Amino acid sequence: MQIAIDGPASAGKSTIAKLLAKQMHYIYLDTGAMYRAVTWWALKQHLPLNDEQQILQSLGTEPIEFVPAADGQHVRMFGTDITTAIRSEEVTNNVSQVSALPGVRAEMTKRQRQIAAGQNIVMDGRDIGTTVLPQAAVKIFMVASVAERAKRRFKDNAEKGITVPLATLAQEIAERDYKDSHRAQSPLKKAADAVEIDTTHLTIPQVVDAIVAVINEKK
């Protein structure tokens, strides 16, 4: 079974998708981490972020690896553990520009489908239900208010020692929502057959339960 979880930035997708995958013994793929990895690499190589030719050429066939670790999946590329680096403010604030490049999307979509082939998988992102896995048995569209999402990111940041004011985070989230939903290629959009879950006032276990209920209905 393929489970697609889409939605805007910081709506809780990856937290929920990880728990769900663990509970169901499914593979978990964080597609946002893949776009972040490409952005990290382009920034590191000082490539122009609007030049898909250069970015794709420099990336080549280098795999973006997800390695199981005691504290969750680690992301590796070009021999480097980039788990923390891809969550930096610099990557976060540039990823929407790189992910809007059609060639980058085509390459990531191809890799995501290869990973999903023949597997029980929970995949989270922006375009999983609409583009990457349009045949997914279960599609969830997770939303939450901008204020709530900024609060969640503020808390995550505090744990990592990052201090960005709440108002700045809210503005960054709103900007990323806008860019992700207005790009030409595979914009963030609820699939017609997706079930929308507003997580603003729900706890993590409540969201997991809501999704399990959707899965059980499909079985």
* Residue of 4, 32, 144, 150 interacting with ligand C5P (CB under 6 A): 32
Question: Measuring CA to CA, which residue among 40, 112, 104 is closest to residue 75?
Answer: 40
Measured from the CB of residue 181, what is the shortest distance to ligand C5P in angstroms?
10
Spatial distance between the Cα atoms of 135 and 131, rounded to a whole number of angstroms? 9
Name the H helices within 27-78. 31-44, 52-59
Measured from the CB of residue 159, what is the shortest distance to ligand C5P in angstroms?
17
- Write out the E strands in 14-146: 27-30, 65-67, 74-77, 80-81, 121-125, 138-143
36 contributes a contact to ligand C5P by CB under 6 A:
yes
* Residue of 126, 139, 149, 152 interacting with ligand C5P (CB under 6 A): 126
Closer CB to ligand C5P, 36 or 139, in the complex: 36
Stretch that binds ligand C5P, among 72-80, 95-103, 135-143, 163-171 (CB under 6 A): 95-103
* Residue of 16, 20, 28, 99 interacting with ligand C5P (CB under 6 A): 99
9 contributes a contact to ligand C5P by CB under 6 A:
yes
Which residues lie below 8 Å from residue 184, measured CB to CB, with a gap of 6+?
100, 102
- Write out the E strands in 115-198: 121-125, 138-143, 195-198
Q: Give the C-alpha distances (Å, rounded to integers) separating 138 from 104, 122, 159.
A: 26, 9, 32
* Residue of 5, 12, 21, 31 interacting with ligand C5P (CB under 6 A): 31
Residues 150-209 interacting with ligand C5P (rule: CB under 6 A): 176, 180
83 contributes a contact to ligand C5P by CB under 6 A:
no
Angle between helix 31-44 and helix 52-59 axes, rounded to 10 deg: 100
| Interface residues toward ligand C5P, by CB under 6 A | 9, 31-32, 35-36, 95-96, 99, 125-128, 176, 180
Q: Pick out the residues of the known binding site for ATP.
A: 7-15
